[in-house]
Each structure stands twice: as C-alpha cells, then as structure tokens.
C-alpha cells in the first residue's frame, strides 16, 4: 500500500492506485515550499490546488549541472561574485543567491552558462525575486532582438518584451518569488543568460552599481513546457516518469 499526504490535515492515508517512479522528485507541499520526495513515492502537489492533487509528469532532465550554486559552472558579466542572500528561498532555507551589479556599471549584467547543448522545444527557467532592480532577463546566445530572450517584470509579475520565438511564463510561488520561464524552439550549444536590468527590452544604460535581484533554482530542459524543479549539484540529473495505474488519470506528453 502506498501512503501519501491526501487530506486537509496533511496526514498520511492509503492511496487506491499503483504508482511507480524510479527517482526522487520535488513537489510543492502544503506550506507552499519545494520539497523532495523519495523514489517510488507519489507527489501530492499543492501549487494550484489547496486540497492537493496527484502530480504526474514525464521524464525530464535538468541540463544545468549546478542549479543552485551560481558561483560554479556560471560565468559573471559586470556583476559582483554571486553571494548567498539573507532571504528565504522557495525551498524554505537561506540558499538563494544575490546578483548585484558592480560599481560603475551602467549596462545590465548577470551570469551565463557556457555552451549547454539543447535541441527542439526547450524550457529555461529560474526562480527570481525583486531586489532594487525591476527585471530579470533570460536569453539563449544573447539578449538583443536577434536572439531568443524574455524580460520578466519582478515588480508586478508581468511578461515584458519577448524576442524571436521565445514566450515567457511567470508563476507566483509566494514571498515575492516567481518562477520565470522562457519557452522557445532552438537547437543550440551557446550560452544561456540570467541577467538583471531596469528597462524592459533593453540592457544598455539600464542599471547602476549596487542594483540587484535574487535568484534560485535554474533549470534547462528539453520540452515545450516547464516541469517540477530538478536540483543538480555537479552533474545533469534526470527525474524519471511518474507511472500511475488504476488512478483514472494519465501522464502528460
């Protein structure tokens, strides 16, 4: 018998179906925080349903090898070395990072991941929270109008400029955090950018030294929509497919 949280008091009760998943995975728990559950355990997700709903997803891999430590595997551009912020991240701990512009800089800056290969439909996401700068920018190969890039307004949770075939998506996670996703179609082994700015659609003359935002949990996956967060700590990690029999529901394709 498989046990899972499935009542309003967050108690364990038997679930009347057969479930399999040969890896750990994350879920949004009843407190609104990202929680990791073990291999073979179903996930009752509270992100979009206050009573909880069974989360079933296809297999996906996070191609970023360091999803939470932005001092390794990422290259800095016009910013201070990223540092741990004194704010609670979406998993409930003090492990978010600050991206802060260096003194004297006036053009947007941030970090980029060098040469991560993708193909076809892709979803590039990161959790972000406003500091004293207004915009997060995600981009592939660059941030100008000839590249796939999206500007995200962290002040009001709206999508700004979208370049080429990129489409932005923002989902609120509480405590000022948004999961910002750039969905796009491209085969690329070029750099993936996480930048900050104060101007929609522009990075030139857009900031001053000391402007900053908070980030947590970067993910790059091959697929047309983002799936649950997959933490990595030095290598690509795959979350295997959820398989549910006799549950009356299917796994999305």
pLDDT along the chain (253 residues), means of 10: 51 66 96 95 86 92 97 96 97 98 96 94 98 98 95 98 98 96 96 98 96 98 98 97 70 35
98 contacts: CB under 8 Å, gap ≥ 6: 82, 83, 84, 85, 131, 212, 213, 214
pLDDT at 3: 47
pLDDT at 250: 40
pLDDT at 1: 42
HSE-CB at 66 with a 13 A cutoff on CA atoms is 13
E strand or H helix at 218, and its extent? Answer: strand 212-222
Question: What's the rounded Cα separation, in Å, for the pair 235 and 164?
Answer: 30
Q: What is the pTM of this model?
A: 0.90
pLDDT at 253: 31
């Amino acid at each position: 018998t498989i046990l899972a949280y499935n009542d309003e008091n967050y108690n364990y009760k038997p679930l009347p179906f057969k479930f399999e998943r040969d890896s750990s995975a994350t879920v949004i728990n009843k407190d609104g925080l990202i929680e990791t559950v073990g291999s073979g355990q179903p996930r009752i997700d509270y992100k979009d349903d206050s009573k909880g709903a069974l989360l079933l997803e296809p297999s996906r891999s996070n191609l970023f090898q360091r999803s939470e430590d932005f001092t390794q595997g990422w290259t800095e551009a016009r910013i201070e070395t990223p540092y741990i912020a004194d704010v609670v991240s979406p998993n409930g701990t003090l492990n978010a990072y600050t991206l802060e512009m260096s003194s004297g800089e006036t053009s947007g800056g941030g970090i980029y991941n060098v040469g991560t290969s993708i193909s076809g439909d892709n979803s590039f996401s990161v959790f972000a929270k406003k500091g004293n700068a207004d915009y997060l920018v995600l981009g592939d190969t660059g941030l100008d109008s000839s590249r796939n890039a999206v500007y995200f307004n962290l002040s009001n949770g709206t999508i700004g400029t979208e370049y080429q075939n990129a489409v932005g998506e923002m989902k609120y996670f509480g405590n000022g955090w948004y999961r910002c996703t750039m969905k796009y179609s491209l085969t690329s082994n070029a750099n993936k950018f996480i930048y900050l700015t104060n101007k929609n659609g522009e990075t030139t003359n857009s900031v001053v030294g000391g402007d900053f935002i908070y980030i947590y949990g970067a993910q790059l996956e091959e697929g047309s929509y983002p799936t649950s967060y997959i933490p990595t700590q030095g290598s690509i990690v795959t979350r295997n497919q959820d398989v549910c029999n006799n549950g009356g529901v299917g796994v999305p394709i």
